[in-house]
Structure 1
């Protein structure tokens, strides 16, 4: 479909306008003239403005009359200027009679004015054809053909010269992406050593790849989070090696990261400083990084949780427990990484990263309340009994306070008895007492029976005490503590049976 053209002229040039209109219509263009095209009774200003808005090209016949102040042609020109802003490619000024340059509106002088040397109608039609021709056809015009060919030759030569390098980069990116995928699978299976090596290979093949950088950062943060929460002997060298490997990756990432990603990197850099401290190497205070992380992202999960851990690591007061709880609560509000956050919170409260057990009733009670909150909220129940396991950390409370000693009373203050019993059953189902680190049925029944008794489940407590005595007889326990437990069980049976 040919372009729509608006023809603006003074009434004194009506004859020239008519010739131009007929010529353009003969070439297939739609032409609007402010007088002949206006339907009777229609609002003049509104129709003129609409016609200009709908036009593709605006032709202005320049004469002494059309540029005189007060003429409606200047109003039409104003409408055109409002539509296009700049006349290039949209406005064709045509000088139909000599007019002083200063009298011509600035908007028209911003482009080349057509100054016909022969037939006005023919030259206007030719210029309109040129202006409305497709870009590729304009490039084929004689005056543009040679420069166009030259530019195209240059582009082809440059592209050809750069093609081998481009293809090589594409192959490097493909290989790096393949190694990155293999690394992800290794990490998911727990083979972090080879996962890291694969990313190092990917980085060597495609140095500077943002995808590889981000994969390295993600794995580095995961490796750091997995370290420093369990009690090991002789782990200092591992911590030092881990920090030396991961900290440069995180530092590199901070140069271009923003918002949450930057805060995540900063928080894990703080955790790396904690591990460096554990290794006896020293470094920056971890809290300095956590504070910076929360300045960047005030709701950052890792910044809050790791800072809460640091508060409990450095201070043992009741006020410290309350302050740390605020940070953990802020982290949990995100509803992300909940299992990790709870594991971190329990580890911080019980300090199981440096001790098998901490003799601190207040922290133990808070850990029990945290576990009960998990139960009530329907969070994932801790699984497994391996070294440093979540469930093992919580069982240590009952093992050291109840099984190996007689300090159940302080723990009972953590929760109402019936609720405490429900928590114990949720945490330690009897059908899940298998695996390294799991308690014996004998010890389990001793704790369960006492909680049942305190929780008002008399029949359940009687059954558990009797099963305990049977287990003692079957296994042949002979330690002094086992004997003491049996004595307590017999006393409880007598008490509950009366």
Structure 2
């Protein structure tokens, strides 16, 4: 019988949902009360609500933790990407941009050990290859130095030595860029060596600092070499140490006194030989050129004899050949000097015949320095017992003046001297012909005067070609040591001085029209030059006055007399006029007798 049959209409239990009698107070199945109690319902509802809240709280906490984790991971990945970019930029030597990337990484994670270590490495690398705009140098050096000082905390001895060395190098870099130092450079390097006496950077940077700052002396060269000797022991960082070593020594190999230059050259040669034996890479091409140039200024070989005594000749030859290998060393003077050194070292080896052949081959070098030519001539005389013919021939520079036939001696000088120079023999020739042509008006015998007039145009053309060559080089802004601004100026002046002789010779020979035409060409040439040629302008004006005055005396031309007076005033009122151009006795003399009736001329010479 069912509950419905026993007790009328049935119902479901409020708890287990089984069927019970409609009047039942207690469920016979689960024992639950069937009373509809509001408080009980409320309690039940609260229990469910608490469970739901707990679940929601757990879910919210999990979401928050997931957000924190995701943010941390994103920052970590961003820092890694920025540091990778910074490393890549540093490898391409874009240190400024690399520094910015590192700063961004530290901005994302201020306490990132990886970012700080990366910035410390970058600071040291940037200092070793410092390249910034001059206006930014001070700020960059300050920032880099701050990072280095922070890196000292917790650093071991070797790391401390390295950091301190770079702090000192930052100050040395300030000195190179003409900025004041902010700490005692020597004290910092000493502290670095106390931390680790064998540290590569401390020794290399201090060695360079000694050569850079403490002055040019043999003692300082020796002191620096002792530091570099330690620095180059480390094969991994040897290239950097060598760069500082060679750049510092090369600075002392030129522009110092002979003792210092020779000590620097000796050190460079010995270190080069050591590098060759150790199969190290050759120094930079620019370094090798400067080492080879250190044997003599402009190829004059003044340090060759001292250099020969620095090393055994076989080692010296090997080191020299190693430095020359693969080098485009085509400058004539420098190449001649290199050949002379090889000949000299071959002689030291005792190979006299071979050395003589090498010396004699240098006789063909047309552009070798005259000082080197003298050394070659003496070497040939030393090995063969006689000077080469060229040593006995005229140089047209400072040869003893021939007393037997001074005319021919000076004519030969004008035909053969180098117009780029103003040698003593040229000055002597100009003085000789000026004296012969100036006082009296015609002092040369007719045959010699005719020869002079006929030969001077060719001599002038020879100089004029050199002047034109210089004009072309000037337009191209391509002056070199073989044809410099000084060579150009010398050729111009030599052309005008010899032109003066030509004008005087034409005047003395009665060829006044040609003399005036020649002066016109000279005036045009001088007018194209700068204001420094005032003396030459005054001289040309006086020569015009002189030629016109003589022609006026012959032609009785008023125009010639007027021109003579015009140019005479122009000369006298010029800033460049002096009694070296003309004296008042000459101005009042017979040359200007055609002007004596002119009131303006008489007023000009009144009281003189």
1:295 corresponds to which residue? Answer: 194
Task: Call closer, same or farther: CA 1:289–1:496 in 2, change over 3 Å.
Answer: same
Query: Is residue 260 of structure 2 the alignment partner of residue 373 of structure 1?
Result: no
1:432 corresponds to which residue? Answer: 327
**Secondary structure of 1:415's partner?**
coil
Task: Call closer, same or farther: CA 1:496–1:331 in 2, change over 3 Å.
Answer: same
Please say if residues 273 and 282 of structure 1, whose CA atoms lie closer than 8 Å, have aligned partners that are also in contact.
yes
CA distance, structure 2, for counterparts of residue 208 and residue 434 of structure 1? 55
Please say if residues 265 and 294 of structure 2, whose CA atoms lie closer than 8 Å, have aligned partners that are also in contact.
yes
1:364 corresponds to which residue? Answer: 265
CA distance, structure 2, for counterparts of residue 238 and residue 448 of structure 1? 48
1:114 corresponds to which residue? Answer: none
2:155 corresponds to which residue? Answer: 257
Displacement of 1:270 = 0.7
Displacement of 1:186 = 3.2
1:286 corresponds to which residue? Answer: 185
Query: Is residue 294 of structure 2 the alignment partner of residue 397 of structure 1?
Result: yes
Displacement of 1:486 = 4.4
Please say if residues 301 and 337 of structure 2, whose CA atoms lie closer than 8 Å, have aligned partners that are also in contact.
no
Please say if residues 277 and 283 of structure 1, whose CA atoms lie closer than 8 Å, have aligned partners that are also in contact.
no
CA distance, structure 1, for counterparts of residue 133 and residue 337 of structure 2? 31
Partner of residue 175 from structure 1, selected from 78, 81, 102:
78
- In the alignment, structure 2 segments of 5+ residues that lack a partner are 1-55, 386-608
1:422 corresponds to which residue? Answer: 318
Task: Call closer, same or farther: CA 1:154–1:404 in 2, change over 3 Å.
Answer: farther
Task: Call closer, same or farther: CA 1:425–1:357 in 2, change over 3 Å.
Answer: farther
Partner of residue 119 from structure 2, selected from 216, 225, 242:
216
Post-superposition CA distance 1:180-228 (Å, at most 9, x none):
3333333333333433343334434443322222222222212222349
Displacement of 1:154 = 10
**Secondary structure of 2:110's partner?**
coil
CA distance, structure 2, for counterparts of residue 451 and residue 225 of structure 1? 39
Please say if residues 176 and 212 of structure 1, whose CA atoms lie closer than 8 Å, have aligned partners that are also in contact.
yes
Post-superposition CA distance 1:254-287 (Å, at most 9, x none):
2343332222111100111122233232221112
Displacement of 1:317 = 4.9
Task: Call closer, same or farther: CA 1:409–1:482 in 2, change over 3 Å.
Answer: closer
Displacement of 1:292 = 1.9
Please say if residues 292 and 338 of structure 2, whose CA atoms lie closer than 8 Å, have aligned partners that are also in contact.
no
Alignment coverage as a number of residue pairs: 327
Task: Call closer, same or farther: CA 1:406–1:199 in 2, change over 3 Å.
Answer: same
Query: Is residue 94 of structure 2 the alignment partner of residue 191 of structure 1?
Result: yes
Task: Call closer, same or farther: CA 1:302–1:395 in 2, change over 3 Å.
Answer: same
Task: Call closer, same or farther: CA 1:451–1:166 in 2, change over 3 Å.
Answer: farther
1:54 corresponds to which residue? Answer: none
Higher-Rg structure is 2
Any residues of structure 2 matched to 1:131-280 within 5 Å, and which? 160-227=63-130, 237=135, 239-278=137-176, 279-280=178-179
Task: Call closer, same or farther: CA 1:236–1:185 in 2, change over 3 Å.
Answer: closer
**Secondary structure of 2:155's partner?**
coil
CA distance, structure 1, for counterparts of residue 60 and residue 158 of structure 2? 44
Displacement of 1:356 = 6.0
Deviates more, 1:407-416 or 1:360-369: 360-369
Displacement of 1:446 = 4.0
Q: Does 1 or 2 have the higher relative contact order (CA < 8 Å, sep 6+)? A: 1
Displacement of 1:319 = 4.3
1:144 corresponds to which residue? Answer: none
Please say if residues 145 and 170 of structure 2, whose CA atoms lie closer than 8 Å, have aligned partners that are also in contact.
yes
Task: Call closer, same or farther: CA 1:189–1:384 in 2, change over 3 Å.
Answer: farther
Query: Is residue 372 of structure 2 the alignment partner of residue 485 of structure 1?
Result: yes
CA distance, structure 1, for counterparts of residue 230 and residue 189 of structure 2? 14
1:454 corresponds to which residue? Answer: 348
Q: For the aligned residues, what is the CA RMSD?
A: 3.9
CA distance, structure 1, for counterparts of residue 139 and residue 335 of structure 2? 41
CA distance, structure 1, for counterparts of residue 219 and residue 76 of structure 2? 53
Q: TM-score, normalised by structure 1?
A: 0.55
Task: Call closer, same or farther: CA 1:196–1:465 in 2, change over 3 Å.
Answer: farther
- In the alignment, structure 1 segments of 5+ residues that lack a partner are 1-152, 229-233
Please say if residues 300 and 369 of structure 2, whose CA atoms lie closer than 8 Å, have aligned partners that are also in contact.
no
Displacement of 1:423 = 0.8
1:314 corresponds to which residue? Answer: 214
Displacement of 1:409 = 1.5
Task: Call closer, same or farther: CA 1:492–1:160 in 2, change over 3 Å.
Answer: farther
Task: Call closer, same or farther: CA 1:364–1:432 in 2, change over 3 Å.
Answer: closer
